[in-house]
Amino acid sequence: MTEIRVAAAPDAPPLAATRTAPPFSVTRMPGFGLVAVASFAVLYLPIITLVIFSFNASTSMSSWGGLSLDWYRAAWRNEVVQEATVRSLILATSAAVISTTVATLAALGTTRQGRFPGRTAIYAMVNQPLMVPEIVTAVSLLIVFGFVRSLTGYQGLGYLILAHSAFCVPFAYLPIRARLEGMDRTLELAAADLYASPVQAFRRITLPLLAPGIMAGAMLAFVVSLDDVVITEFVKSAGQDTLATYMLGQFRRTLTPEVNAISTALLGFTLVLLTGFFLITRKRARDPR
């Protein structure tokens, strides 16, 4: 996990160089860098042990029995796990896209229009999924969806996508709203003065300004959906185990390093995707327009 090299000064594009110019940097806060490094270390320490134990020859998660790829072989042969992983990723992607889209609109609606009757009610409603433990949402969805199921006979992934999307809304909404609140409106007003249509103004001005918030919201929604186990357990139809419910099923037995191998493979896959994405965007950024 080499990406923890946070201390090294990155080769900064010229644009940002003015910001971080020594000797006096306005953005430097004493101790902040140290805490940030510590945070990354804390986040990655368990992950590193997880990766190491995925190469463990013994069946135990806590005692080292030599180097081996057995668990990777086991995971590779385990079709059930692969299906569950694919299903988890499909579900998390759908939920992230849907919830971030509606959350962005709702955030625009509740911050860009000033005060209006019902704004607090909308705010409360959007955040409602946070307020009850998952088991409660799970039970209520079980009853309602069970009814819909017997009525329509539909057994597809739609129930899970709906449940996950709804559950992820506040996780996407709050970061986007945090970005929007107090954001400078000058540019939008200027665009309107220059006869830009509201759609043009939104696409060219608001959306780019909003992008980091949307990015943060979508990422949160994605990992929240990946992690969700209780709602999924109650809502899933026959044959719809996700990685999370598969793991829950193993909860009463002892987990073997096979689950570490699965996780490590998933991490590796993520890192490859991420590196590729990063290289492409960097190349594009360097190309002259």
Partner 1 sequence: MKTLYLSAALGLLTTAAAAQDRQLQLYNWGDYTSPEMIEKFEGETGIDVTITDYDSNDTALAKVQAGGHGFDLVVPSANYVQIWVEQGLLQELDHARLTNIGNIAPEWVDVAWDPGRRYTIPWQWGSTGVSVNTSVYSGDINTSNIFLDPPPELHGKINVVPEMNDIISLTIMNVGGEPCTEDLEVLRQVRDKLMNAKQYWLSMDYDSEAKLSANDIMAAATWNGPSMRARLNNPPVQFGYPKEGYPLWMDSVALLADAQNVDEAYEFLDFIMAPENAAMISNYARYGNGIAGSEEFMDAEMRTAPEIAIPEEHRAAGVFLPSCPASAVNIYSQIWTELQS
Partner 2 sequence: MTSGAAEAAGLRRRTRAGWLLSTPALVLLAAGAAGPLLVVLVFSFLSQGEYGGVSLPFSGEAWFRIFLQRDIFDGTVSAADAHLAIFWRSVWISLATTLITFAMGLPTAWFIATRPPGQRSLWLFLITIPFWTNLLIRTFAIMEVIRNEGLLNTALLSLGVIDQPIQILFTDWATLIGTTYVYLPLMVLPLYAAIDRFDMRLLEAGYDLYASRWSVLRRVILPLVRPGIVAGCILVFIPSLGAYVTPRILGGGKNMMIGNFIELQFGQARNWPLGAALSMALMVVVMAALLVYVRVSAREGRDD
Binding partner 2 (rule: CB under 8 A), the pick from 8, 23, 62, 152 is: 62
Binding partner 2 (rule: CB under 8 A), the pick from 57, 97, 102, 157 is: 102
Residues in a beta bridge with 67:
56
Of residues 276, 268, 272, 271, the one with CA closest to residue 55: 268
Amino acid of residue 141: L
Of residues 237, 271, 66, 210, the one with CA closest to residue 155: 237
Query: Residue 190: which of partner 1, partner 2, none does it interact with, CB under 5 to 8 A by kind?
Result: none
Residue 101 interacting with partner 2 (CB under 8 A)? yes
Query: Residue 90: which of partner 2, partner 1, none does it interact with, CB under 5 to 8 A by kind?
Result: partner 1
* Binding residues for partner 2 restricted to 205-224, rule: CB under 8 A: 209, 212-213, 215-217, 219-220, 222-223
* Binding residues for partner 1 restricted to 103-142, rule: CB under 8 A: 139, 142
Residue 285 interacting with partner 2 (CB under 8 A)? yes
Q: Which is nearer to partner 2, 91 or 163 (CB)?
A: 163
Rg over CA atoms, the chain: 23
Provide the minimum distance between the beta carbon of 95 and partner 1 in the complex, in angstroms, as a whole number: 12
Asked if residues 193 and 155 have their Cβ atoms less than 8 Å apart, the reply is: no
Query: Residue 60: which of partner 2, partner 1, none does it interact with, CB under 5 to 8 A by kind?
Result: partner 1
* Binding residues for partner 2 restricted to 114-153, rule: CB under 8 A: 114, 116-120, 122-137, 139-141, 143-145
Binding partner 1 (rule: CB under 8 A), the pick from 239, 283, 286, 289 is: 239
CA 37 to chain centre: 21
Interface residues with partner 1 (CB under 8 A) are 59-63, 78-80, 82-83, 86-87, 90, 94, 139, 142-143, 145-151, 153-158, 161, 233-234, 236-241, 245-246, 248-255
